[in-house]
């Protein structure tokens, strides 16, 4: 960072499933040069004036970068790096080598204005202070380069993001730059230009609660696969058809609970308890927009207890669409006659 002292509804629904068993701000992109994440303007740190494109800058002249082309003395616009950035450098590199530290010709460590937010305020570009094995040749021979700000990790080795401008160095030591302007067509205001303010006023509309609902495809059925003997007990598995909870209560955000009840398994000749059905609820990431929904702990086949919670969302969470499924395991008692058994699972959705 650079700054000198001289500068200034309850809802409920039920769903029945037939069970049949057989035994988961972008920064502005710059258009000049390619690869710069944010616009990059250069201001004279003493006069606080914008340096015009092509204006000569001495190697020992203190200038600083800024992401907008005006208001430098306000100190309210900052460069922002990614979360994984751990360090900040100003650098000079060949054009195209800005994001590769091995290609940098000179650099100097800078600092975050706010390490938590990864922001940098007016990074100083005093080119006389940069250091590098081949940096002396930049001033001596001149040429076309890039200069700017890099956010790094791995002790300054990896460039996580960078904002910069193209510069041209004249042999012997003065340099000039071309501002990196916003892709949306931003321009550099001319020196001595005038500006004016426009007041903005908008009236917003308060959001309203929608409904809480549970839905399932028509005719949903879970059919178990071929049974196998495991510990001399008929064991088979299935997947529960996907069900959907939609919570449009964007204001109250009360949360909800989805419970499951399973009836006994019956055939033409026999029956056995629903405790023999294991259910492992899960949130299917595809199509889910809600956050904070917690699937219940899986019920173990042979000791399952119903009714029980299938999934829930605490107050303040669960708003949006939640796609739910479950892994089913049926372990028939050893004394159950072979045959085809059916049952029914009922899911009930209630507001908290």
Q: Which residue has the tokens 């190697």?
A: 59
Average the pLDDT over 266-273 and give the result. Answer: 95
Locate 208 and state its tokens: 């309203």
- Out of 16-30, 56-70, 269-283, pick the least confident: 16-30
Percent of the chain with pLDDT over 70: 87
> pTM value?
0.49
Give the dihedral sign, CA 59/60/61/65.
positive
pLDDT of residue 127: 92
**Residues 6 or more apart whose Cβ sits within 8 Å of residue 192:** none
Q: Which of 273, 261, 262 is nearest to 333 (CA)?
A: 273
Q: φ, ψ for residue 167 (rounded to 5)?
A: -125, 155
Locate 85 and state its tokens: 């950035």
Q: Which of 160, 148, 37 is nearest to 89 (CA)?
A: 148
Domain assignments of the chain as residue spans, ordered by start: 41-178, 212-351
The CATH code of the domain at 212-351 is: 2.60.40
Q: Which of 187, 189, 174, 248 is nearest to 214 (CA)?
A: 248
Locate 335 and state its tokens: 């004394």
Whole-angstrom distance, CA of residue 205 vs CA of residue 220: 40
Whole-angstrom distance, CA of residue 62 vs CA of residue 6: 13
Average pLDDT over the chain, rounded to an integer: 88
Whole-angstrom distance, CA of residue 288 vs CA of residue 295: 13
Neighbours of 197 (CB within 10 A): 5
pLDDT 10s digits, 9-47: 333 333 445 555 544 233 333 335 678 999 999 999 999
Residue 181 pLDDT more than 80?
A: no
The answer to whether 22 and 235 are in contact (CB under 8 A) is no
Q: What's 322's DSSP letter?
A: E
Q: Name the region of 325 (left: φ>0; alpha: ψ -120 to 50; beta: rest).
A: beta
Q: In whole angstroms, what separates CA 212 from the centre of its chain? A: 27
Average the pLDDT over 299-325 and give the result. Answer: 97
Percent of the chain with pLDDT over 90: 76
Q: Which helix (H) or strand (E) holds 141?
A: helix 136-141
Hey, which residues does 239 pair with through a beta bridge?
A: 327
Largest CA distance in the chain: 101
């Amino acid at each position: 960072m650079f700054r000198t002292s001289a500068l200034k509804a309850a809802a409920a629904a039920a769903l029945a499933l037939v069970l049949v068993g057989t035994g988961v701000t972008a920064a502005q992109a710059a258009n000049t040069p390619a690869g710069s994440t944010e616009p990059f303007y250069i201001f004279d740190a003493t006069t606080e004036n914008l340096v015009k494109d092509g204006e000569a800058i001495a190697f020992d002249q203190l200038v600083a970068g800024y992401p907008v082309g005006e208001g430098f003395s306000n100190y309210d616009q900052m460069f922002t790096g990614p979360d994984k950035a751990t360090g900040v450098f100003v650098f000079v590199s060949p054009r195209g080598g800005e994001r590769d530290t091995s290609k940098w010709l000179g650099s100097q460590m800078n600092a975050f204005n706010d390490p938590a937010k990864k922001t940098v305020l007016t990074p100083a570009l005093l080119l006389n202070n940069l250091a590098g094995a081949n940096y002396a040749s930049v001033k001596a021979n001149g040429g076309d380069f890039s200069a700017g700000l890099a956010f790094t990790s791995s002790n300054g080795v990896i460039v996580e993001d960078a904002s910069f401008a193209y510069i041209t160095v004249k042999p012997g030591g003065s340099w000039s730059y071309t501002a990196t302007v916003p892709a949306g067509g931003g321009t550099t205001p001319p020196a001595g230009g005038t500006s004016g303010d426009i007041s903005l006023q908008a009236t917003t509309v308060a959001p309203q609660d929608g409904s809480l609902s549970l839905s399932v495809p028509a005719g949903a059925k879970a059919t178990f696969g071929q049974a196998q003997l495991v510990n001399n007990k008929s064991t088979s598995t299935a997947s529960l058809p996907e069900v959907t909870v939609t919570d449009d209560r964007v204001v109250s955000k009360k949360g909800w609970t989805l419970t499951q009840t399973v009836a006994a398994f019956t055939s033409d000749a026999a029956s056995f308890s629903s405790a023999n059905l294991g259910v492992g609820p899960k949130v299917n990431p595809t199509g889910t927009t809600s956050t904070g929904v917690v699937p219940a702990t899986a019920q173990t086949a042979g000791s399952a207890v119903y009714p029980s919670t299938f999934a829930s969302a605490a107050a303040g969470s669960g708003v949006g669409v939640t796609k739910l499924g479950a892994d089913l395991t049926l372990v028939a008692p050893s004394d159950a006659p072979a045959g085809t058994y059916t049952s029914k699972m009922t899911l009930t959705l209630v507001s908290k």
